[in-house]
Structure formats: C-alpha cells, structure tokens
Amino acid sequence: MNQQGSRGKVFLIGAGPGDPDLLTVKAARVLAGCDVVLYDRLVSAEILRLAHPDAELIYVGKHEGEQQRVQRRIFDLLLQHARAGKIVVRLKGGDPLVFGRGAEEWAVARENGIDIELVPGVTSAISAPGLAGIPLTYREISQSFAVITGHCKEGLAQNWADYAHIDTLVILMGVKNRAYIAQALIDAGRASDEPAAFVERATSEKQRVVITTLREIANGRVAAENPAVFVVGHVVRVRERLVEAMEAVEVF
C-alpha cells in the first residue's frame, strides 16, 4: 500500500483470460500492494482476491449503450485516486492494449502528469484457442493469423475482404454478429465449408468448444454465448489430433 502523501501511480494490468494461474507474476505482485482496483466485467473473482485486503475494488465494466459514460468515469477515477497519492490498478481482461481502451487510459494519465506503467496480460485471442487444442499456426496449414474485432459498431463496418487470404482468423467480440461475419467472409472468398470454432468461457470450469463451419454459422444454425473467441481456419481440424476427450464439444 502506498504511504499517504506519496506520489500516486497507475498500473495498467492485463488480467489474462480468467484463470488466475495465467496472471503474470508482476501483475500478482502489484495487485497485492495496491490501494484501488478498477476492474472490468471479464475479470474473475479469483483474480480480484489477489488484491490487497484493504484495497478498494471498483467495478467499471461496460454494457452496450453506456460505453462512453463509463469510460469518462474511468478517466475521472484514475486521475482522482492517483492524485490522492494512491497506487491504482486498472485491471482489464486479456491484454489492456488488445481491443480495449487501455491506450486511451494510458494517454489520459500521461497528459495529466500521472505516472503509469503497463503490465501486459495473456490475450484470449491466443490463449483461448490454444487451450482448446486449436493452434493458430501449424506447419503446412497456417503460416499467418489475424486478430479482428467483431463488435457490432466496428464489426459491421469491417472490410472482411481484407481477411480473405489470411490462413487463420481470430475474431473477438464476434458472437452477436456471427452470422453476418460468416456470410461476409464467404462473400469475400473463403470456402463455406471452412472449419470454424467458438471457445466459450475459456479457462473456466464452464469452458465449451463448438466446432462447426462458416456455412452453418452463416445459416444461423450455431448457438454460441459470450464471452467467446471465434476462430476460422483449417487449424480447427488440428484439434482432433491434440485433444482426446471430446465430451464438451458440440459438432454441427
């Protein structure tokens, strides 16, 4: 804990995909000594328990329609607590700089003379497929991958033709618009029978892996729930070689 009157500091920390064992050593150390934690919706309760017992935990998760209001509150809270001489942890799921607004929070802190330090996290874009037995690259199958946002506002404006020839696609925040995205990828030139997968609630006891094709997704036949990582590419088939137990898999 910081001494009253000392200069405050912000740590921008990635909480990883959810399992506390995947948190970095540095992230755990900073949490153990912080004064305030501003945490997002996908940060697990197990990770929050690593914070100092006297730390103030403030939920700042965003829901559709209130993103701008909540983001302004986050900026205000970061500045308020840091100016009060506190050690502030801004705790974001995955990595703070992958499809979050971590860089904006970093900029606001610096523009206001607040000391800030980044502690990277394990992004779900790589860890969720990997832990489900889906490697993003594999010799003779995939030599490239792209991580893309599928969020409603940005996703619907995405030029999916840009990704027609990349071996493996990892789409974050793509569950809601999955049928649109799948059809857009088919229209852009990807094969309709190309394998795809959803990895739901990665690293948790409720993890579920759905194996399917772009065609089935485009036709609205695939159920998937947030939070989930959407993977498209022939590496999905590698899973059969890497995973023996398939009880949690629904095949369409």
Which residues participate in catalysis according to the annotation?
40, 62, 173
Nearest-5° angle of CA 163, CA 164, CA 165? 95
Amino acid at 80: Q
Distance between CA atoms of residues 230 and 147, nearest Å: 10
Instruction: Enumerate the β-bridge partners of residue 249.
Output: 209
What DSSP element (H or E) covers 109? helix 102-111
- Structure-token match 């900026």, residue found: 75
- CA dihedral of residues 128, 131, 132, 136 (deg, nearest 10): 70
CB 231 within 8 A of CB 197: yes
- What is the rounded distance in angstroms from the CA atom of residue 238 to the CA atom of residue 219? 24
- Count of residues making up the chain: 252
Q: Single out the residue of 43, 38, 12, 45 nearest to residue 26, CA to CA.
A: 12
14 has which bridge partners? 92
Confirm if 194 and 216 have CB atoms less than 8 A apart: no
Report d(CA 61, CA 67) in Å as an integer.
Answer: 9
Tell me phi and psi for residue 102, to 5 degrees. -60, -40
Structure tokens at 218: 């485009």
